[in-house]
Amino acid sequence: EVQLVQSGAEVKKPGESLKISCKGSAYTFSSNWIAWVRQMPGKGLEWMGIIYPGDSDTRYSPSFQGQVTISADRSISAAYLQWSSLKASDTAKYYCATLTTVTSPFDYWGQGTLVTVSS
Amino acid sequence: NFMLTQPHSVSESPGKTVTISCTRSSGSVASNYVQWYQQRPGSSPTTVIYEDTQRPSGVPDRFSGSIDSSSNSASLTISGLKTEDEADYYCQSYGSSAWVFGGGTKLTVL
């Protein structure tokens, strides 16, 4: 069974850095895109960016370009989302999800990682 | 890039049929597939319709999808509503290296 397991909830202060992870299993990690999706409290889904672990092709939503960094480590089937300097407005739940091709649906989703940024 | 606009909320009684629209702001809705996701409170989204009209295995045939080029929109129709269908529904499509979600529609089954 395909699974995406995300790292646990985080509580951080403004200005701190953070890297959250998404580990895939039971599928060919390198051959599927992994996307990151933000959901702010009580709000909708927002696509942040996507990476193809096979060649590290990475694309960002203009809304998130320069605000976050997406990476992947094929050797351990993991994808990452990181911030260098968190803001209170980064408080949200972050999901990773797989796609087979760019036009396919977000097939499998992780359980989400809640990030709380508060002084 | 384009936007996908959904009604904020819809409500209907059990056993009835409801349709949720998703209007594409620019470019043709037929140019890229539309997907629909269901998100129950506290859970991750799951796909209920993909490639405009296809239903994943395990999704009841009460769920159906369509597109209408004349209104440049996609629709999700749920017939024989059940209380378990109460959830947020999101449409999603792709274009110009961007993956776009609609704002979501809260379905209340009362």
Question: What pLDDT is attached to residue B97?
Answer: 87
Choose the weakest-confidence range: A33-47, A76-90, A96-110, B4-18.
Answer: A96-110
B83 touches chain A (CB under 8 A): no
Burial class (CB in 10 A: 0-12, 13-18, 19+), A31: exposed
Which of B35, B39, B49, B99 to substitute to test the interface with A, most A CBs within 10 Å?
B99
B35:A106 CB<8 A:
yes
Write the pLDDT tens digit of every residue in B67-109. 999 999 999 999 999 999 999 999 999 988 899 999 999 999 9
Question: What pLDDT is attached to residue A40?
Answer: 98
Q: Which residues in chain B touch residue A45, judged by CB atoms under 8 angstroms apart?
A: 37, 39, 45, 90, 92, 101, 104
Q: Any idea what the Cα angle at residue B105 is, between residues B95 and A23, rounded to 5°?
A: 60
Q: Any idea what the Cα angle at residue B89 is, between residues B106 and A101, rounded to 5°?
A: 160
A46:B102 CB<8 A:
no
Question: What pLDDT is attached to residue B96?
Answer: 86
pLDDT at B1 over 90: no
CA nearest to A95, candidates A55, A53, A44: A44
Write the pLDDT tens digit of every residue in B31-57. 999 999 999 999 999 999 999 999 999
Alpha-carbon span B16 to B97, nearest angstrom: 38
A106:B37 CB<8 A:
yes
How near does any CA of chain B get to the CA of A35, in Å?
9
A27 touches chain B (CB under 8 A): no
Choose the weakest-confidence range: A95-104, A108-117, B4-13, B81-90.
Answer: A95-104
Question: What pLDDT is attached to residue A102?
Answer: 86
Higher pLDDT, B95 or B11: B11
How near does any CA of chain B get to the CA of A75, in Å?
26
DSSP-derived letter for residue B29 is G
Question: What pLDDT is attached to residue A109?
Answer: 97
How near does any CA of chain B get to the CA of A13, in Å?
25
A115: β partners: A10, A92
pLDDT at A63 over 90: yes
pLDDT at A21 over 90: yes
In three-state secondary structure terms, A17 is coil
